[in-house]
Every structure is written in structure tokens, then in C-alpha cells.
């Protein structure tokens, strides 16, 4: 069983190609990307609401992420993904299984840094409007896949704080009638994170089966 986080974030992948973009939207996104890349480390907490418009069901989930350089430790829906920049371990609590693989562009899709700059991987963007969200002014930008026929989702709407140029919310609309609303609830810049946070220690997971790619 693959964790839901991998499915939801894997569909965001598309070729790393630069396309003609909405200038206002692109300028804002470039500012956010630069700010994220200038950080040595960060910690975030987020909420994710997954809705199915067909059956009306919804699920509320929480997640956290630690990032230091090209290393990360992400927790979502009871599952954990640890990467030291060379190896990635996906830990599935329900199955008591650990999937070990080489770090690559594919599993980098679940790197919290990638999530916070998802527009960099082959999207067309368009500035929509400025509005109020949770007592702050935000820019609303629409992202659409360059190759919609090959994509599992329709579009992504992202909300960027006007005050600090940080993404605060993303709404992912999939073709299967599901919507994921991802909201950042806490963001800490350059915290002191020990390297042990990005090391998988099998002693912490007794009884887990390890599968290597």
C-alpha cells in the first residue's frame, strides 16, 4: 500500500520546462521561490482537507515537515518519509513496512521544499486577483498543467501572502472529482535541526519489514 501523500503529491509532477507565463504571476512566484531557496532550513505544519465531490465525503489530515538543505523529514496521514539526500525511506505505519530507495527527482516530489514551490515544475500560471484570507491580504494565482491530457488533475490554486511572499494555501483539483485543500498553519525559518532528524534508524521501528528498490 502506498501512502496517500505519495499519490496526492506525485500527480503534481510534470517536465521541468520553462513556458511563457503571466508576468505578474511569474514575478510573484519568483520572489517566493528565491525566499525559499535562501533558507538554510525550515519547519512547517499544515492541514489538508481531502474532499470527494461525487460522494460528499471529506477527510481532515495534519502534517509536518523538516527541511535542511537537500534533506527532509515529512509526516502525513500517519506515514513518514525521511531523506538524507542520498536515500529515501517511506515508512507506512498501517502496513508496518519501510520502502527504501535512492533519492531521485521522483520521490523528491514529497520534499516539503518542493511542495512549497510546486509551480516550478512545468505549469502555466495566471494571476487571478487579490483577496482577504484569514485576516491577511493574499495574491491568488491559478496553475494549469502544460499537458492536461497526461495529467490526473485539472488545476491548482495557490494563495501567496502579500506581506511576506510566502505560500499559505493551495487548492488541488483532480480529475477524479477530488479536491485537496492544503493550508500552512505554522512556518519557522532557519531553525536548528540536528542531522539525526534525517537518518532512518530501524531500531525505532521494531517489527517493520524493509523493502529495497
> 60: domain range?
4-204
Q: Where are the beta strands (DSSP E) in the chain?
A: 41-52, 58-68, 71-76, 79-83, 87-92, 97-102, 123-133, 136-145, 153-161, 167-174, 178-189, 209-212
Does a structural domain hold residue 85? Answer: yes
Does a structural domain hold residue 211? Answer: no
Does a structural domain hold residue 82? Answer: yes
Does a structural domain hold residue 138? Answer: yes
Q: Kindly indicate the confidence band of residue 159, based on its pLDDT and cuts at 50, 70 and 90.
A: very high
Query: pLDDT at position 2, please?
Result: 41
- Residue 26's CB is within 10 A of a number of other CB atoms, namely 18
Does a structural domain hold residue 86? Answer: yes
The dihedrals phi and psi of 65, each to the nearest 5 degrees, come to: -150, 135
Q: What is the pLDDT of residues 51-68, one digit of tens each?
A: 887 888 898 989 899 999
pLDDT higher than threshold 50 for residue 193: yes
Is the Cα torsion angle 187, 80, 37, 182 positive or negative in sign?
negative
- Per-residue HEC secondary structure of 90-122 comes to EEECCCCEEEEEECCCCHHHHCHHHHCCHHHCC
Asked whether the whole model's pTM tops 0.85, one would answer no
Task: Tell me the percentage of the chain whose pLDDT exceeds 90.
Answer: 47
> Under a CB-based contact definition with an 8 Å cutoff, are residues 94 and 3 in contact?
no
Q: What CATH code is carried by the domain that includes residue 77?
A: 2.50.20.10
Q: What is the pLDDT of residues 33-54, one digit of tens each?
A: 888 889 999 999 999 898 887 8
Does a structural domain hold residue 209? Answer: no
Q: Kindly indicate the confidence band of residue 21, based on its pLDDT and cuts at 50, 70 and 90.
A: low
Query: pLDDT at position 37, please?
Result: 86
Q: Helix, strand or coil for residue 17?
A: coil
Give the mean model confidence (pLDDT) for residues 186-207: 94
Does a structural domain hold residue 210? Answer: no
pLDDT higher than threshold 90 for residue 111: no
Query: pLDDT at position 11, please?
Result: 37
Give the mean model confidence (pLDDT) for residues 187-211: 94
Total structural domains within the chain: 1
> Under a CB-based contact definition with an 8 Å cutoff, are residues 45 and 37 in contact?
no
> Under a CB-based contact definition with an 8 Å cutoff, are residues 75 and 82 in contact?
no
Amino acid at each position: 500500500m502506498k501512502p496517500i501523500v505519495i499519490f496526492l503529491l506525485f500527480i503534481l509532477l510534470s517536465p521541468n520546462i520553462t513556458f511563457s507565463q503571466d508576468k505578474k504571476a511569474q514575478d510573484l512566484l519568483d520572489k517566493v521561490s528565491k525566499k525559499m531557496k535562501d533558507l538554510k532550513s525550515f519547519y512547517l505544519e499544515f492541514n489538508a482537507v481531502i474532499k470527494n465531490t461525487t460522494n460528499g465525503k471529506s477527510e481532515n489530515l495534519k502534517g509536518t515537515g523538516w527541511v535542511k538543505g537537500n534533506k527532509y523529514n515529512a509526516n502525513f496521514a500517519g506515514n513518514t518519509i525521511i531523506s538524507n539526500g542520498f536515500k529515501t525511506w517511506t515508512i507506512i505505519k498501517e502496513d508496518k513496512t519501510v520502502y527504501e530507495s535512492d533519492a531521485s527527482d521522483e520521490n523528491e516530489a514529497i520534499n516539503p521544499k518542493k511542495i512549497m514551490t510546486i509551480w516550478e515544475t512545468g505549469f502555466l500560471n495566471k494571476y487571478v486577483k487579490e483577496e482577504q484570507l484569514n485576516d491577511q491580504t493574499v495574491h491568488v494565482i491559478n496553475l494549469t498543467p502544460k499537458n492536461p491530457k497526461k495529467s490526473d488533475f485539472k488545476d491548482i490554486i495557490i494563495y501567496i501572502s502579500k506581506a511576506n511572499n510566502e505560500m499559505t494555501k493551495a487548492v488541488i483539483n483532480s480529475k477524479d472529482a477530488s479536491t485537496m485543500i492544503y493550508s500552512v498553519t505554522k512556518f519557522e525559518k532557519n531553525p536548528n535541526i540536528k542531522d539525526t532528524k534525517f537518518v532512518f534508524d530501524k531500531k525505532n521501528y521494531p517489527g517493520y519489514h524493509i523493502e529495497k528498490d
